[in-house]
Amino acid sequence: MIDEILKLKKEKGFVLLAHNYQLPEIQEVADFVGDSLQLALFASKVPERNILFLGVDFMAELIKALNPDKRVIVPDPGATCPMANTLTVEIVEKFKEEFPGVPFVLYVNSRIECKALADVICTSANAVEIVKKLPTDTVLFGPDKNLAEYVAERTGKKVIPVPGEEGFCPVHQFDPSSVDRVREAFPGVKVMVHPECPKAVRDKADFVGSTGQMEKYPTKEPSKVFAVGTESGMIHKLSKVYPEKVFVPLEEAVCENMKRNTLEKVLHALREERTEIVLPKDLIEKAKKPILRMFELLG
């Protein structure tokens, strides 16, 4: 199957881009594996006009919005992000009406229709920096309430979570006692967690960061063992980058949506050249503005 995927990819001029949470065998056939923003930026640099994207829908939409002239296909259009889906256009509009003049900061894990209504987009890697750089003391922030709380802690600003209590990633709701357990089992272990984790877990960790930041953390840390508080695919990614180090899961954490992509589906997608991500031009134009604002603020 792998041979046929590689052959078809070459023959048909496709580049395969995979998120860090994809199955190990999917990561192995991909040309590039990274976090959501790294993937969208990488897609802009490749000469291929055809992209087979392996992740979930909001990431594929981001790639298409930043590369409207490329053809983006996904093996399973049903692979989505339940947290992103907690936020709807109606909810965004309601909060904007209730808090006029308060900037709406939207996490990249969101639907493109919501992005079109945001003032600025952020990722888990740059959310703190983006909110710091905004000229107001209060911001609206969605859809992840845990990331919103983390940003408030780090910036000292008032961060209003939108939609509120229901905005969280089910995969990252670890128990704080797991941190104690890995520390006991692996003395000297460094614990890294994603900011989508609850505060009680973040507070006990040695490092809080996006998957892209987690990839860099072991470089500066002499420790041999790392506990990984994010989706299990990241263990494969880290083990490849640092073969001399040991990565253990903080808890078993599987994003079922990320894991909907299989080698069989990749092969089928390449054979059939579908399913293509199609977005209306005006939606792309509207969504691009807050994305470009993020790049401007980052400088």
Q: Of 27 and 50, which CB lies nearer to ligand SF4 in the complex structure?
A: 27
Residue 159: Cβ-neighbour burial (10 angstroms; 0-12, 13-18, 19+): buried
* Least Cβ distance, residue 6 to ligand SF4 (angstroms): 27
74-111 per-residue burial string, b: 16 or more CB within 10 A, e: under 16: bbbeebebebbebbeeebbeebbeeeeebbbbbbbbbb
Residue identified by tokens 């069989």 is 264
Q: Could you say which of ligand 13P, ligand SF4, none residue 193 binds, taking C-beta under 5 to 8 angstroms by partner kind? A: none
How many residues in the chain? Answer: 299
* Least Cβ distance, residue 288 to ligand 13P (angstroms): 19
The binding site for ligand SF4 (CB under 6 A) comprises: 56, 81-83, 109, 169, 171, 231, 255, 257-258
Q: Of 20 and 27, which CB lies nearer to ligand 13P in the complex structure?
A: 20
Q: Of 67 and 124, which CB lies nearer to ligand 13P in the complex structure?
A: 124
Q: Could you say which of ligand 13P, ligand SF4, none residue 5 binds, taking C-beta under 5 to 8 angstroms by partner kind? A: none
* Least Cβ distance, residue 20 to ligand 13P (angstroms): 6
Q: Kindly give the pairing relationship between strand 14-19 and strand 50-54.
A: parallel
* Least Cβ distance, residue 223 to ligand SF4 (angstroms): 25
* Least Cβ distance, residue 109 to ligand SF4 (angstroms): 5
* Least Cβ distance, residue 158 to ligand 13P (angstroms): 24
Q: Of 9 and 260, which CB lies nearer to ligand SF4 in the complex structure?
A: 260
Q: Which residues are CB-contacts of 101 (< 8 A; sequence separation ≥ 6)?
A: 136
CA-CA distance, 252 to 228, in Å (whole number)? 10
Q: Which residues are CB-contacts of 79 (< 8 A; sequence separation ≥ 6)?
A: 55, 56, 57, 257, 258, 260, 261
Q: Report the C-alpha dihedral over residues 252, 253, 255, 259, rounded to 10 degrees.
A: -30
Q: Which residues are CB-contacts of 80 (< 8 A; sequence separation ≥ 6)?
A: 56, 57, 58, 257
The binding site for ligand 13P (CB under 6 A) comprises: 20, 35-36, 109, 123-124, 169, 194, 196, 210-211
Q: Which two tokens stand for residue 135?
A: 């000229």
Q: Kindly give the pairing relationship between strand 50-54 and strand 104-107.
A: unpaired
* Least Cβ distance, residue 196 to ligand 13P (angstroms): 5
Q: Which of 93, 96, 120, 94 lies closest to 106, judged by CA?
A: 120
Q: Of 109 and 155, which CB lies nearer to ligand SF4 in the complex structure?
A: 109
Q: Could you say which of ligand 13P, ligand SF4, none residue 35 binds, taking C-beta under 5 to 8 angstroms by partner kind? A: ligand 13P
Q: Could you say which of ligand 13P, ligand SF4, none residue 147 binds, taking C-beta under 5 to 8 angstroms by partner kind? A: none
Q: Could you say which of ligand 13P, ligand SF4, none residue 227 binds, taking C-beta under 5 to 8 angstroms by partner kind? A: none
Q: For ligand 13P, which residue has the nearest CB?
A: 35
Q: Of 51 and 197, which CB lies nearer to ligand 13P in the complex structure?
A: 197
Q: Could you say which of ligand SF4, ligand 13P, none residue 82 binds, taking C-beta under 5 to 8 angstroms by partner kind? A: ligand SF4
